[in-house]
Amino acid sequence: MTDLDLRTKPTGSAPGRLSAALRRAAPALLVYAGVRALGLVVLAVWGAAAGKSPHTLLTARWDSLWYTRVAESGYGWQVTLPNGDVHSNLAFFPLLPWLERLGAAISPLSYQDAGLVVSWLASLAAAGGIFAIADRLYGLRAGVCAVALWAVLPVGIVQSMAYSESLFTALAAWSLYAVISGRWLTAGLLASLAGLTRPVGAAVVAALWVAAVLVVVREKRWPWRMVVGALLAPLGAAGYVLWVGQETGGGLFGYLDVQGQWGNGFDGGLAFAKFVGAKFTSVPGALAGVGLIVGVALVIWLYVKCVRQKQPVPLLVYCGIVVALALCASGYFGSKPRLLMPAFPLLLPIAVALARLRTSRSAAVLGVVALVSAVYGAFWLHGSGPP
């Protein structure tokens, strides 16, 4: 299989293709739903013991509150901290709150519950996109394993929260699938929507643009669908960033100023390195520091494995940018695990290895990890959680 199978043409009617695709993806989606259901059950049991509402934990903490406020009242709300920093809701991209508002408008759901439904549906769509990519590249078993691995991530509980990670991953995965299968208009539209979801939508745009450049270099042609898709891709993010600049009076750098007030920025990982280094002032802290170093090394090692696996260039570009932005951001160090969640190509080397095992062995491994992930997710959400 080549990097980009651009000449692949779909056969059969659209309903027939959709039905066949759903039948093929059904095992992966069932596995995904089972793992996430396990996480929610453990969270509910933990919440009952701790006297906390799982519903509140999933819909009314941290970022989910900011998204809900945007859905309810629009942009323009901010909080001034004692040190003078201003936290504005302009930091949050609009697609999720738009969908929350739509869900509340067409149903009896509250904005919070609409956000939860959007996240749950988007997580299934993300699982489907991850399966589609892994299945296309490495086969059915690898596709199921890739979805299971994404579900059992230590911070996988975020996939079931009213957060934007599931929505973004769904749009990114299907955009990337469209790129590697030569569906440029679909890829561009989904990339634009991904850019309306999270700042890291730039990674999807970059992946599409690199793929388009490769077509021009290799085939000496400029397909019109590819050109239009490439032009569509950045419109979502660019439109929102320019609007924020106009609202704040900061011009092109207005959105960066908003993020700067939140303590977010890109410093090449210097602040994160200092944060890790500061852990080595005590024995418990040193253990945590070693754990962080091992975690970062694991992420880098997996990316190298992706390169050696010869994944399609768009996947490598997308994954590399997501990883770089997550590890090299200067603020909110506790958020890094969930910021890495959309970097699903990192899981493909492990998925291929698991697919080579007997089904009983791979199922046993994933089952144990799923249980550990569910317990950790409940513990994490009842504690520091995903800021």
CA distance 12 to 293: 50
Whether 8 is in a domain gets the answer no
**Which residue pairs, CB below 8 angstroms and at least 24 apart, start in 237-240?**
237/93, 237/192, 237/195, 237/196, 237/199, 237/201, 237/202, 237/205, 238/195, 239/196, 240/93, 240/94, 240/195, 240/196
pLDDT given for residue 212 in this prediction: 97
Whether 2 is in a domain gets the answer no
CA distance 183 to 168: 19
Q: Which of 277, 298, 300, 303 is nearest to 288 (CA)?
A: 277
Whether 37 is in a domain gets the answer yes
pLDDT given for residue 10 in this prediction: 52
Percent of the chain with pLDDT over 70: 96
Whether 52 is in a domain gets the answer yes
Whether 83 is in a domain gets the answer yes
**Which residue reads 């996939």 in tokens?**
159
Three-class DSSP category at 197: coil
Exposure pattern of 6-18 as b/e (b: 16+ CB <10 Å)?
beeeeeeeeeeee
pLDDT given for residue 350 in this prediction: 97
First and final C-alpha spacing in the chain: 41
Range of the structural domain that residue 70 is part of: 22-382
What is the total count of domains within the chain? 1
CA distance 77 to 119: 24
Whether 15 is in a domain gets the answer no
What DSSP line would sit under 41-88, residue for residue? HHHHHHHHHHT--HHHHHHSSTHHHHHHHHHHH-S--EEE-TTS-EEE
pLDDT given for residue 270 in this prediction: 87
Q: Which of 132, 70, 139 is nearest to 98 (CA)?
A: 70
Enumerate residue ranges in the chain where pLDDT < 70: 1-12, 386-387
Whether 221 is in a domain gets the answer yes
Q: Which residues pair with 78 in a beta bridge?
A: 88
Q: Which of 63, 42, 54, 29 is nearest to 339 (CA)?
A: 63
Whether 14 is in a domain gets the answer no
Count the alpha carbons within 13 Å of 324 in the hemisphere toward its beta carbon: 11
Exposure pattern of 180-204 as b/e (b: 16+ CB <10 Å)?
bbbbbebbbbbbbbbbbbbbbbbbb
Q: Which residues pair with 46 in a beta bridge?
A: none
DSSP 8-state assignment for residue 175: H
CA distance 314 to 311: 8
Burial level of 82, CB count in 10 A (0-12/13-18/19+)? exposed
